[in-house]
Amino acid sequence: MGKKALIVADMLRDFMEPGGTLYLGDEARRIIPFVASKIEETRPAGGVVIYVTDAHAPDDKEFQLFAPHAVKGSKGAEIIPEFQVLPGDYRVEKTSYSCFHNTEMDAILKQERVERVEIVGVCTSICVMATVKELFDRGIPRLVYREGVADFDPEGHAFALKYMQRVLGAEVV
């Protein structure tokens, strides 16, 4: 099996900390130790850790649907302090649900010769699912850890897991 990448989606202060603009709640915080363990397993095994983060403009069109959040350069757009981007890790800033839209994600995966992607983070029904769809479109094997994803909407979370597995062919464990 080729090189693995771990995508860590939107583990940002605005989503993961009380007082964050779109705080997902205490239930979402339960994934932090699991995500940390996956990060720590990936690096020494020769895998690539890719932090994907919202970095919105103050007038982003997404704010018509959701309260302003993760504005580029704001405290809310910072990765939570439980995680550190280390040398060799990547940080991909995005302005849409997909971490592939107008980003360097394709180039990183090619440069690193990634053949399999594992995904953790938030929100299951939005950015995680959009990422899995993009990986499906590219024919890249993908795995989503149930214990490593969370959402503000329990029904959306359950639907997204089922959809990613049944329709997008992701391995959901």
What are the residue boundaries of the structural domains of the chain, listed by start? 3-172
Torsion angle defined by CA atoms of residues 6, 99, 91 and 23, in that order, rounded to the nearest 10 degrees: -90
For 3-172, CATH gives 3.40.50.850
The mean pLDDT of 28-50, rounded to a whole number, is 97
Residue 128: pLDDT band (50, 70, 90) is: very high
pLDDT at 104: 98
pLDDT of 1 over the 70 cut:
no
Q: Write the DSSP assignment of 133-163 as a string of letters.
A: HHHHHHT--EEEEEEEEE-S-HHHHHHHHHH
Residue 61: pLDDT band (50, 70, 90) is: very high
Q: What percent of the chain has pLDDT over 90?
A: 99
- Taking each helix axis from N to C terminus, what angle separates 129-138 and 154-166, rounded to the nearest 10 degrees? 10
Q: What is the pTM of this model?
A: 0.97
**Inter-residue contact 124 to 28 (CB < 8 Å):** no
The mean pLDDT of 15-37, rounded to a whole number, is 97
pLDDT of 2 over the 80 cut:
no
